[in-house]
């Protein structure tokens, strides 16, 4: 696991410190909370509620860890401080700013309420500001899921941590105080002891808006009892800004606060009223439209009652919490943790609890001017990093194509592709009027649903007998008909309950309803009976084989066929027919084999197909499509009944020619589910309307349609239908890649999946995909995916699709390199390749840019740079050496430009690899044995560009290799590599150096850099430099570059001289003879002058660095001189008769060095 670097402290509470931090090895800054383990319940609560939430107004949770002494929470860094700090600094905010901030607060809080989460402790210190001014909710320590007991959750976490029940009462008592937030913003009903709710959060929101405008909360007192008295019984004063020069509050704002700060929660503004309030100036109008056009994520499990409008339920969390229930169903596993051990922090590497993983930065950084005050809840100040990708290290091991495609098939259809919504009473199809009944004329007890469920058998039978008696009544008066309709309305209402619906469906009443559907003279009664039957079918929890559902289906089919021109009648009967067929299909799927008693008559399918055709009313089309959509979600004989040659084109026609989005979505969704059973359905569409038309529809469609169409293409490709055509269609590939810009996670995931199918069967499309920025898209989404979420979470689904695509691309790279090597090997040594060989070269060499794209990607680089890769790369370089020397000629086969481009990209790929030395650490011998020899040969190239490029790569690679620290147990390997490297440079490169150093810049700079690295690493190399007679040429380089003393070449020369002088085995006499003193004095004088040049400060730092190197050389020279003089004096003193002439001559040569003292004195220390 990677460590974190901690910078300045940006906040502190009683038991928590907040740091600005950075993940080691990245530039991603985060906020890191270090908190005592006694706060485990609060931190666990924070994590479980936010670990799946990604929203612009909610601080993003990244990860958490446990070490020996602390819990560490890594969250988004917000650089703007807290709202509390802003209010304190500005005293009060203008109304326009309050409106802007309020929109952020409402957006974030509304999202939380839709998820079923109550914040419970809204206060300014828990609202943070991102740099651009976006407000974000932070610190969810005291938040909870609506309806749960937070004390119990805290106690559960604490007990689980303690490992037993000891002291349980003590723990429970301590939890009572821990779940309380700031009293100043608490609603009156909470003060009185009721539980938190949506309305209590809205009260706190009103307090926050009031404080932003006036600079102080609406209720405040130092005395707790007095504060409670004010909250419960006093009305707040009108908000007045602290700054009297500021404008007064508008009437809209006062009206808004009045609605939010109502003591009675029943009179308080609801979300619907709040979002539509005039104060916001229609800022939320678009949100309402989006809400009303959402396709039904409303689960089939939601209970429908005739008196409620499902659309309204979706819009408002208070109107029945439908949307919250929807999200709650999806995230309930994450939110409602009955076992806290299900959500545990990560531990450090090897499972050891080690605090050192969070390292304090040794670099001093300024503290923030204002520390963020932390309450016991510890609010945080933080800023948005990009998470490092969980995909950068994918499990190794080769995956066969069969295994790969098997996993891909599992990902084609997701739960979001197979959502079921009701056919009957579906507001997206047709809004039904609410069902009402008059209990006064019911003529039987108007039992509630709850009472009906618990009726004893005898009472239930009596109730049924009364119902059947009234329905079977033959009285034909107007009053009797009205009473019968009223009874049926009552039955429709109670049929919305599962247990009641199940009992009624399997009672004699159901048979009686079928009978009266056939014989009732009044079509109003028939329509109500049909609706009753449909509701029973929709809500029953089981179907027994003796229920006469086939009889009902047959009768409904006959009625529709006999009255086919009566559109209103079809609208009454079709939903019931559909619900019955879907009920049979689901039951048959559960039992896993067909029942003869449930065989749907063919006439029913025929009638439904007729209802799909052109010319029918939109509502009838929609109902028929919805029936097919639901039934074909199941694997049953009933679904097979819809699979015909015309079903695909008919649904496509509906999709293309409808102007209503809900019908278009239903039609394409039905086609998607039909294709799950028979991919030829979509094949028939393509063959009839043309692939181009389908691709254009994909490109221009809304998100939900794009999701279904991508599923259709995946399903078809998985079966090999139209495979060759699709994988060769560049427009298709380009369209799919453009969808990677979609804001929808599901669409991007499915686009990756379709691309994977294409790349498996046509690896040439990998080049087109890379050129269209596929790798960039992969890197972006790799950062967004996080492990450990539920399967149907969008990020987890995206992660799985990306995982397979990355695996395939990683496995594809060796095949691409192998094809290139085979093509080059076939023409090796040939001046005129054959036609077949030329064709092979044209196919394979253009794929080399794929290699460059992958090795420059942080996702792919660690996985593709292996020993096999480096070996293959070195072999390609050997072929390039052969091409460069003229032994092999491919220009005639691929063209001169293509040949040069191939060489350039090959060299660039290795340049990208050496930017990350850690990748080469384990493969030093492979690099030395297979890559460096052809690079050394290319240094002699006649092509100036390749010569320079190769020398630069050689120089940088050598520097990396000689500076690698050997791992334990690898010393022998490293010694062999060093010896091979030394021999290569000595035998092949050094003989060319005299010529290389005469070439124009920057060739000498790279050549000298290589010598610097070698002499620094291996002192014996100094002797090789001297033996190669390069010393005179090195001093000539100094003379040639003395006008650019701060250039790279001169810096490399000085570094080389420093190494030579510092080496004990160096031939100093040779250096002195070549004018070492003169050159050093000249360089010293010019460098010191530059250091003292106040008008040119940009060069001072470079000049200073060069001067330090010259001082090192000077120190080495003086050390050598003192040694020679000391030996001469010792010889003279001992009377051994040694000559002092050599020492005197050396002192005389070094005399000019004394003059350098005057240059050193004025230099700053």
Residues annotated as part of the active site: 121
Contact 291, 113 (CB under 8 A): no
d(CA 576, CA 532): 8
Q: How many of the other CB atoms lie within 10 Å of CB of 889?
A: 16
Tell me the CA distances in angstroms from 278 to 94, 212, 253, 255, one per residue in order: 17, 19, 9, 9
Reduced to 3 states (helix: H, G, I; strand: E, B; else coil), residue 4 is: strand
SS3 content of the chain, % helix, strand, coil (to 5): 65, 5, 30
3-state secondary structure of 32: strand
CA-nearest of 565, 590, 586, 573 to 534 is 573
Query: What does the angle CA 347 – CA 349 – CA 351 come to, to the nearest 5 degrees?
Result: 50
For residues 394 and 863, is the Cβ–Cβ distance under 8 A?
yes
Beta-bridged to residue 136, according to DSSP, are 128
3-state secondary structure 364-429: CCCCCCCCEECCCCCCCCCCCCCCCCCCCCCCCCCCCHHHHHHHHHHHHCCHHHHCCCCCCCCCCC
Residue 805, CB-side half-sphere exposure with 13 Å CA sphere: 32
Q: List Cβ<8 Å contacts ≥24 apart for 1045-1050.
A: 1045/1083, 1045/1086, 1045/1087, 1045/1090, 1045/1106, 1046/1090, 1046/1099, 1046/1102, 1046/1103, 1046/1106, 1047/1001, 1047/1005, 1048/1001, 1048/1002, 1048/1005, 1048/1009, 1049/1001, 1049/1002, 1049/1004, 1049/1005, 1049/1008, 1050/1083, 1050/1106
Residues 787 and 837: beta-carbon distance below 8 Å: no
Report the 10 Å Cβ neighbour count for 915: 12
Measured distance CA(484)–CA(487) in Å, rounded: 5
Q: What are the residues whose beta carbons fall under 8 Å from the beta carbon of 934, sequence distance 6 or more? A: 874, 877, 878, 880, 881
What is the C-alpha to C-alpha distance for residues 714 and 730, in angstroms, rounded to an integer? 17
Helices (H), 719-793: 723-728, 730-738, 745-761, 765-771, 774-784
Helix 549-562 to helix 523-539 angle (10° resolution) is 140
CA distance 1098 to 444: 98
What region does 139 belong to: left with phi over 0, alpha with psi -120 to 50, or beta? Answer: left
**Dihedral of the CA atoms 1043, 1049, 1051, 1057 (nearest 10)?**
-110
CA gap 604, 577 in Å, rounded: 8
Per DSSP bridges, beta strands 358-360 and 16-23 are unpaired
Query: What DSSP line would sit under 646-664, residue for residue?
Result: THHHHHHHHHHH---HHHH
β-sheet bridge partners, residue 21:
6, 30
Judge if the upstream peptide bond of residue 910 is cis by omega within 30 degrees of 0: no
What are 29's strand-pairing partners?
A: 22
3-state secondary structure of 886: coil
Give the separation between CA 818 and CA 839, rounded to whole angstroms.
16
Cα 88 from Cα 434, distance rounded (Å):
52
* Backbone phi, psi, residue 534, to 5°: -65, -40
Q: What pairs with residue 64 in β-bridges?
A: 73
H helix or E strand, kind and range, residue 20 = strand 16-23
């Amino acid at each position: 696991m990677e460590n974190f670097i901690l910078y300045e402290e940006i906040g502190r509470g009683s038991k928590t410190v907040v740091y600005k931090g950075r993940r080691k090895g990245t530039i991603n800054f985060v906020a890191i909370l270090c908190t005592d383990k006694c706060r485990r319940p609060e931190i666990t609560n924070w994590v479980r509620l936010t670990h799946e939430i990604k929203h612009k107004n909610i601080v993003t949770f990244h990860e958490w860890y446990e070490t020996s002494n602390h819990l560490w929470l890594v969250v988004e860094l917000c650089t703007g401080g807290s709202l509390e700090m802003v209010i304190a600094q500005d005293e009060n905010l203008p109304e326009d700013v309050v409106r802007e901030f309020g929109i952020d607060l409402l957006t974030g809080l509304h999202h939380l309420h839709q998820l079923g989460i109550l914040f419970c402790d809204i206060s300014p210190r828990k609202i943070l500001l991102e740099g651009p001014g976006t407000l974000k909710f932070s610190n969810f320590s005291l938040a909870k899921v609506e309806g749960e007991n937070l004390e119990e959750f805290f106690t559960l976490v604490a007990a689980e941590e303690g490992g037993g029940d000891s002291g349980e009462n003590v723990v429970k008592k301590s939890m009572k105080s821990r779940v309380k937030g700031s009293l100043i913003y608490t609603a009156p009903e909470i003060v009185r002891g009721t539980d938190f709710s949506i309305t209590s959060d809205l009260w706190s929101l009103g307090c926050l808006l009031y404080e932003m405008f006036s600079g102080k909360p609406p209720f405040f007192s130092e005395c707790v009892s007095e504060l409670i008295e004010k909250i419960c019984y006093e009305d707040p004063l009108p908000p007045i800004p602290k700054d009297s020069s500021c404008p007064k509050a508008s009437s809209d704002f006062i009206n808004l606060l009045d609605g939010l700060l109502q003591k009675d929660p029943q009179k308080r503004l609801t979300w619907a009223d709040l979002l539509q309030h005039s104060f916001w100036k229609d800022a939320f109008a678009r949100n309402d439209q989006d809400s009303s056009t959402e396709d039904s994520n409303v689960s089939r499990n939601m209970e429908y009652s005739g008196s409620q409008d499902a659309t309204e339920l979706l819009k408002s969390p208070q109107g029945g919490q439908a949307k919250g229930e929807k999200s709650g169903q999806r995230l309930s596993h994450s939110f409602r943790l009955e076992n806290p051990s299900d959500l545990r922090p990560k531990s450090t590497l090897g499972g050891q609890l080690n605090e050192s993983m969070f390292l304090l930065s040794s670099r001093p950084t300024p503290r923030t001017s204002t520390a963020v005050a932390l309450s016991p809840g510890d609010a945080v100040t933080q800023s948005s990093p990009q998470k490092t990708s969980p995909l950068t290290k994918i499990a190794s091991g080769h995956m066969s194509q069969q295994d790969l495609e098997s996993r891909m098939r599992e990902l084609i259809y997701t739960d979001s592709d197979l959502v079921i919504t009701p056919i009957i009473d579906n507001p997206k199809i047709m809004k039904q009027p609410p069902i009402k009944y008059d209990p006064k004329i019911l003529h039987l007890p108007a039992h509630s649903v709850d009472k009906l469920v618990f009726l004893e058998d005898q009472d239930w039978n009596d109730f049924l007998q009364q119902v059947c008696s009234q329905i079977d009544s033959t009285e034909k008066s107007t009053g009797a008909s009205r009473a019968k309709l009223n009874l049926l309305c009552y039955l429709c209402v109670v049929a919305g309950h599962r247990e009641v619906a199940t009992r009624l469906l399997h009672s004699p009443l159901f048979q009686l309803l079928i009978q009266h559907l056939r014989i009732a003279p009044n079509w109003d009664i028939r329509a109500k009976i049909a609706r009753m039957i449909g509701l029973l079918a929709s809500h029953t929890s089981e179907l027994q084989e003796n229920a006469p559902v086939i009889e009902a289906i047959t009768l409904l089919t006959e009625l529709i066929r006999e009255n086919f021109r009566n559109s209103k009648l079809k609208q009454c009967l079709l939903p019931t027919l559909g619900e019955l067929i879907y009920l049979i299909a689901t039951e048959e799927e559960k039992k896993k084999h067909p029942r003869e008693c449930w065989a749907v008559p063919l006439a029913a399918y025929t009638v439904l197909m007729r209802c799909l055709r052109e010319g029918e009313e939109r509502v009838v089309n929609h109902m028929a499509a919805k029936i097919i959509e639901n039934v074909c979600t199941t694997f049953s004989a009933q679904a097979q009944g819809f699979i015909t040659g015309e079903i695909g084109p008919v649904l496509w026609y509906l999709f293309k020619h409808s102007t209503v989005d809900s019908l278009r979505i239903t039609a394409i969704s039905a086609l998607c589910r039909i294709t799950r059973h028979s991919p030829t359905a979509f094949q028939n569409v393509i063959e009839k309307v043309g692939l181009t038309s389908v691709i254009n529809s994909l490109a221009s469609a809304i998100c939900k349609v794009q999701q279904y169409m991508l599923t259709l293409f995946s399903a078809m490709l998985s079966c090999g239908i139209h495979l060759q055509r699709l994988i060769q269609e560049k427009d298709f590939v380009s369209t799919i890649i453009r969808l990677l810009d979609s804001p929808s996670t599901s669409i991007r995931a499915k686009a990756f999946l379709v691309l994977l199918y294409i790349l498996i069967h046509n690896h040439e499309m990998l080049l087109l995909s890379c050129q269209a920025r596929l790798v960039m898209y992969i890197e972006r989404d790799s950062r967004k995916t996080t492990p450990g979420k539920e399967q149907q979470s969008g990020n987890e689904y995206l992660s799985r699709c990306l995982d397979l695509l990355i695996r395939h691309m990683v496995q594809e790279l060796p095949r691409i390199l192998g094809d290139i090597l085979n093509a080059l090997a076939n023409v090796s040594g040939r001046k005129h390749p054959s036609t077949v060989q030329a064709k092979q070269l044209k196919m394979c060499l253009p794929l080399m840019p794929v290699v460059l794209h992958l090795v420059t990607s942080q996702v792919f680089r660690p996985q593709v740079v292996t020993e096999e890769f480096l070996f293959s790369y070195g072999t390609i370089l050997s072929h390039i050496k052969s091409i460069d020397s003229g032994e092999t000629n491919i220009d005639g086969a691929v063209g001169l430009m293509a040949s040069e481009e191939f060489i350039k990209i090959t060299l660039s790929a290795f340049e990208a690899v050496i930017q990350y030395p850690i990748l080469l650490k384990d493969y030093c011998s492979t690099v030395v044995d297979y890559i460096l020899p052809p690079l050394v040969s290319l240094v002699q190239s006649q092509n100036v560009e390749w010569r320079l490029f190769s020398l630069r790569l050689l120089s940088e690679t050598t520097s990396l290799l000689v500076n690698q620290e050997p791992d334990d147990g690898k010393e022998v390997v490293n010694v062999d590599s060093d010896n091979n490297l030394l021999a290569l440079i000595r035998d092949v490169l050094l003989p060319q150096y005299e010529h290389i150093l005469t070439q124009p810049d920057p060739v000498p700079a790279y050549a000298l850099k290589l010598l610097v690295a070698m002499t620094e690493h291996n002192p014996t190399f100094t002797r090789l430099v001297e033996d190669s007679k390069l010393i005179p040429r090195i001093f000539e380089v100094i003379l040639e570059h003395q006008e650019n003393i701060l250039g790279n070449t001169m810096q490399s020369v000085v570094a080389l001289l420093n190494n030579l002088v510092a080496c004990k085995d160096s031939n100093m006499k040779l250096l002195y003879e070549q004018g070492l003193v003169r050159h050093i004095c000249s360089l010293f004088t010019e460098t010191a002058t530059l250091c003292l040049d106040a008008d040119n400060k940009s060069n001072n730092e470079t000049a200073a660095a060069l001067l330090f190197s010259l001082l090192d050389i000077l120190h080495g020279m003086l050390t050598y001189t003192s040694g020679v003089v000391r030996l001469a004096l010792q010889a003279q003193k001992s009377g051994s008769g040694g000559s002092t002439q050599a020492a005197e001559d050396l002192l005389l040569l070094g005399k000019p060095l004394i003059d350098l003292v005057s240059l050193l004195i004025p230099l700053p220390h």
